[in-house]
Structures are given as C-alpha cells and as structure tokens.
Amino acid sequence: MKNILFLASPGAGKGTQSEILAKNFNLIHLSSGHLLRNEVEANTELGREVKNIMANGLLVADEIIIKLIKIQINENPNTNGFIFDGFPRTARQAAALDEILAEHNCPLNLVIILEITDEEIMKRLLKRAEIEGRHDDDGEVIKARISIYKQQTQPLIDYYNGQGKTAIIDGAQEIETVAYEINNLISKL
Ligand code: AMP
C-alpha cells in the first residue's frame, strides 16, 4: 500500500496532481475540500454547519474533518493506497492521520511539498474562480486561506521532516513536468 500526502498552499496544484497520480498508480484520491463541498451541495446537517466557514476560507473543526477522512479510510481496506489532498491542515489532524494509518498498519510513505510563490497562487486562484466559480476563490478569501495555510499547515512540514518523509517539488513548473517528477519519486517507493 502506498500512502502519499500533498502538503501545499491552496492553488499549488494538489488537486490536479492528485488526480494524475491516482490514475497512474491506481490510488484513491481523498480530497477533504471535495468531501466537504459534497456535504454542502447535498445540504446535509454537516454541510449546513460548514458552509459559512468554508465560504470565508476558515478551517472547519478538526473533529469534523478527521471523522470524514476516517470513514473513507475504513471503507477502503483493500486499496493500493490513498492520496491525501488538503488533509491534514493542522497538527491535531496530522497526529490523527498517523494514528488512523497505524491502526491499518500502513503509514504514510511520502509527503510531497509543492513550492510556489504567493503571487503565483493568487494568479492561479483568481483564474480558477473564473473557470469553476468556487465561492472561496475571491480576492480577500484567498488572502485569508493563504494566511491560514502559513499559520496552521506550513508548520506540518517540520513534523514530516522529522519523520524523514518529505520531498520538495517546484510547483510553478508546467503540470506535466510536476507530474513527471512526482511519478519518478513514487516509482522509487
Ligand atoms: P480545499 O478544496 O482543500 O481548498 O478546501 C476548501 C475549504 O474546505 C477550506 O478552505 C476549508 O474551509 C475546508 N477544508 C478542507 N480541508 C480541510 C481540513 N483538512 N481542515 C479544515 N478545513 C478544511
């Protein structure tokens, strides 16, 4: 089983690269943002609870997202592995993920950090707003999301460096180049 985690700012290309990787290596792409957006669209109780938080670019409570991810992991015991995209975003989530994966005897194999500048992120997310019309791809909300990433999620790089699992890739390169470099890394696992 191969478990891969993307750690990068919103707009760095986690979603795009996760999709490519999921196809190439037959892995399950677990996008926390996608799981939450599904709840909002289906207008479930949970969806109603997180809708405004998401629209403002804030993080939903750790317990909520940990529970959603845990269900997905437990429901797919025979998979080749998971790609975690957008989760974990806090120290508590990272610790929870390690615990859940330890219960399944399949720890994270690799943490891919996609490096990219704030200017490039802003440019990409504003463009995505035009194409996909996501409510949280708006100028001020993007700034909030970048700032929360720096405060809460970026410190996880040290956590995973401590586990010796990180690899850095230049996320500003063409999609195909990034995918090629990631493929090389995974093939060596
Ligand atoms: P994303 O599609 O990953 O950018 O996520 C969209 C929004 O969903 C975020 O801005 C948060 O409001 C929420 N979200 C997604 N993943 C998480 C997470 N791991 N922890 C807390 N909130 C999350």
pLDDT at 135 over 80: no
Mean pLDDT of 100-121: 96
Measure 10 CA to ligand 1 centroid, in angstroms.
9
pLDDT at 9 over 90: yes
| Chain mean pLDDT for the chain | 95
User: pLDDT tens digits for 161-175?
Assistant: 999 999 999 999 999
Q: Confirm or reject: Cβ of 86 under 6 Å from ligand 1.
A: yes
Measure 175 CA to ligand 1 centroid, in angstroms.
22
What lies within 8 Å, CB to CB, of 40 at 6+ separation is 47, 48, 50, 51, 54
The predicted structure's pLDDT at residue 132: 84
Burial 115-136 (b: 16+ CB within 10 A, else e): ebeeeebeebbeebbeeeeeeb
Q: Which two tokens stand for residue 14?
A: 């986690």
Measure 127 CA to ligand 1 centroid, in angstroms.
19
Measure 188 CA to ligand 1 centroid, in angstroms.
30
User: pLDDT tens digits for 21-61?
Assistant: 999 999 999 999 999 999 999 999 999 999 999 999 999 99
Name the residue of 16, 54, 124 to mutate for ligand 1: max ligand atoms within 8 A of Cβ. 54
